[in-house]
Every structure is written in C-alpha cells, then in structure tokens.
Amino acid sequence: MRLLFVGDVVGRSGRAVLCEHLPDLRQRWRLDVVVVNGENAAGGFGVTEAIHQEFLDAGADAVTLGNHAFDQKEAMSFIGRQPRLLRPLNYPPGAPGRGAAVVESRTGARALVVNLMGRVFMDALDDPFRAIDVELEACPLGRGCDVAILDFHAEASSEKQAFGHYVDGRASLVVGTHTHVPTADARILNAGTAFMTDVGMTGDYDSVIGMAKEEPIRRFLKKIPGARMEPATGPATLSAVAVETGAGGLATRIAPVRIGGRLAPAAPDFW
C-alpha cells in the first residue's frame, strides 16, 4: 500500500499549500491512505470542524491532533461526531473524542490510525507506551488491520525514537510530530516499521516554528507576556513522509516529501 503522512498544518498558509497539492498527489501517486496532522490549522491553535472537513475534501482519510486538540472551544462538541478526527489516545478516560480509528482505503484495505502524545516536556497524560500496547493488541497489524499508522506527538527526540523502536514490527509507520522541523532520519527500523523522528510542519518556514517571528523573538528577549502568537503568512512548504508497505503491512520503502515554500524540494523516487 502507498501511504502519505502530512506534518502539522499551521494556519492559513499551511492550509493553502495542503489543499493546493494534496488532490494532485493523491491521484498522481495513487495513494491508498493519507493522514494529516491538523492541530495547528486554525490560527495556529487547534482545528475547527470546517477546517477538518476541508482536509477530508482535499483527500485526507484521517486528521490527527496533539497538545492543541481542544484549543478551539467548538472542538469539545464536534470531535465526538467526527470519527476520522483523532486526539491523543492517552488522554484520561472521559475525554471527548477518540484516539484511534480504522479507516477504509479506496481499495477496501483497513488502516489503523492512532494519535498519541509524549510526556517529556509535555502535559502529564497517561503512558503512551502502555496505551499503544492495548490498541495494537486489540487491532494487530496483519490481522485486525492491513496497515497501522502512528502519529507520536512529542517534544523530545529521545522519546520519539524510543517509541518507534518499542513498536517496531507492530506498525507500518511511526512518525513524530510537534516540533515542526523535518529530521533527516527517515528510515525503516530493524523489524520493518518505517520511522521519522519529526516530519516537520506544513507552513511558512520564514518563521519561528510556524509563527510570525517578531513576537517569539520579543518573548525570548523580554521574558514577559505580549501579543498573541500569529501564524506566519508567507509561502508554505508541504512537509510529509511517503511510505510503501508490502506483505503483512510492514514498510518496504520510505522517503521525505517537501513541496513549495523555502525548503529544498524532496519527493519519493519509487512512485
């Protein structure tokens, strides 16, 4: 199967580049499953129901979130009626929404998509390692699903890498999100799981992790609260990772994807 995971969409500029390119990529690369992280899509903080639908209409099969999952107040109500919108699985019991879903590809294959959040330098949520054990036991790769795509939303590279090795052989793809800078380590781990420490953001890189530069710089200099952070609005780069899977749902090939904006372009050479 052919999988595409698109990194954190930041603001209007990120939404524009995603919606410009995803429909063409979906058709040209004959993608089976597309997952988009949308937790910064609404003004940099959270997602609205309308934006979630915009991503589905552009070709996403599921939208994942992270620490900004509930920044938009309306998310508390609409997330429960959107089965393909996922907040972190390891939120405490009783949190609205869901952390995992099985979506059907256009060829009828079953894709397990899971969103989890790390705990190093992040909110103190439940243990993501134990949470994924329960989920993968309930829906094992090759039996409960044909592919398994895990979005690990975390700050520390060490935690992301430890998580990737922990589930190696039990998932098709483990991709890190949250830090908004693409890493150069896209690879297939020893037991067949595709991994990338951070896929990067889909947004304007002439910024401070997607936000207009002036306010973040001022905060570092003055160390006092100021104006609200606002997303940068220049030309954005679509940052993603492409994966191909073989028998049993494990990865056979992986490559970074970068389209538009300020970063050097990258695309898989196997499609």
Q: Does residue 100 form part of some domain?
A: yes
Residue 225 has pLDDT above 90, yes or no: no
**Count: domains in the chain:** 1
Q: Does residue 101 form part of some domain?
A: yes
Q: What is the pLDDT of residues 129-175, one digit of tens each?
A: 999 999 999 999 999 999 999 999 999 999 999 999 999 999 999 99
Question: What whole-number distance in Å separates Cα of residue 267 and Cα of residue 73?
Answer: 37
Catalytic residues: 68
Mean pLDDT, the chain, as a whole number?
97
Per DSSP, the three-state class of 57 is helix
Q: Does residue 265 form part of some domain?
A: no
Burial zone of 188 (CB within 10 Å; 0-12 exposed, 13-18 middle, 19+ buried): middle
Find the CATH number of the domain harbouring 234: 3.60.21.10
Q: Does residue 155 form part of some domain?
A: yes
Q: Does residue 48 form part of some domain?
A: yes
Residues 6+ apart with CB under 8 A from 164: 152, 174, 176, 189, 193, 195, 197
Q: Does residue 268 form part of some domain?
A: no
Element (H, E) at 11: helix 11-28
Residue numbers of the domain that contains 202: 2-259
Q: Does residue 269 form part of some domain?
A: no
Residue 46 has pLDDT above 90, yes or no: yes
pTM over 0.75: yes
Residue 85 has pLDDT above 90, yes or no: yes
